[in-house]
Amino acid sequence: QVYVAEGIFIMGSNDDPQAKEFPAHGVHLDAFWMDKFEVSNAMYTKCVDAGVCLPPVLRLNPYYGKWAYRNLPVVYTNWYAAETYCAWAGRRLPTEAEWEKAARGTDERRYTWGEDRPNPRLANFEESLMGEMLPVFRYPLGASPYGVLNMAGNVREWVADWYAKDYYANSPKVNPTGPESGFERSLRGGAYDANADSITTINRF
């Protein structure tokens, strides 16, 4: 895990008043720890073998349970499975605010590595032409300012919050945890088939 210090950062963006990332706003977060890597098939299997986690939907995830793919991120697990895994591992899902601070730091960077446009050396996204996810330890050049890998592209990542498009307009300024209820959970980070605009540190799903 990596340590993210207490303090204020700017969350969201003022680029488009109609966007789900509007408006940019200052958020103060307590210090927290963040896993450096996405959860791999091998890591998730330990929870399944312990009788705590349910396996992914195998008809959708042909990579799970095969030794050759042990270092790929586990996919086709729903939010509840992600929450269960985190609790079993002695962790928790990050809030949406924590995820964004871990991705963009305190200098309002558009991408985890800075302002430069994405390229295949920095992230696994549409223009990398890989067409599939890659191991969780890939793309060190695209690491976040705190050293977290693959927060841009590869696979989308669950966060703890309920999703609401207008939440930023009136969210708390200290340790926001998302709406009290909702119909969908938030996802962050983009995926291997996402375009450059979808793998920014601010983009919400």
The predicted model gives 144-172 an average pLDDT of 97
The residue among 60 and 200 whose pLDDT is bigger is 200
pLDDT of 81 reads 97
Q: What is the pLDDT of residue 175?
A: 98
Q: What is the mean predicted confidence (pLDDT) over 144-153?
A: 98
- Cis previous bond, 176, omega within 30: no
Task: State whether the Cα torsion 69-62-160-130 is positive or negative.
Answer: positive
What is the structure's pLDDT at 60?
86
Residue 115 phi/psi, 5-degree rounding, is -100, -15
pLDDT bin (cut points 50, 70, 90) of residue 138 is very high
Give the mean pLDDT of the chain: 97
The proportion of the chain whose per-residue pLDDT surpasses 70, expressed as a percent, equals 100
Rounded to 10°, the helix 41-49/79-88 angle is 80
Please provide the size of the chain in residues.
Answer: 205
* pLDDT score recorded for residue 59: 82
pLDDT tens for each residue of 44-98: 999 999 999 999 988 888 899 999 999 999 999 999 999 999 999 999 999 999 9
Q: Quote the pLDDT of residue 185.
A: 97
- What average pLDDT does range 136-162 have in this prediction? 98
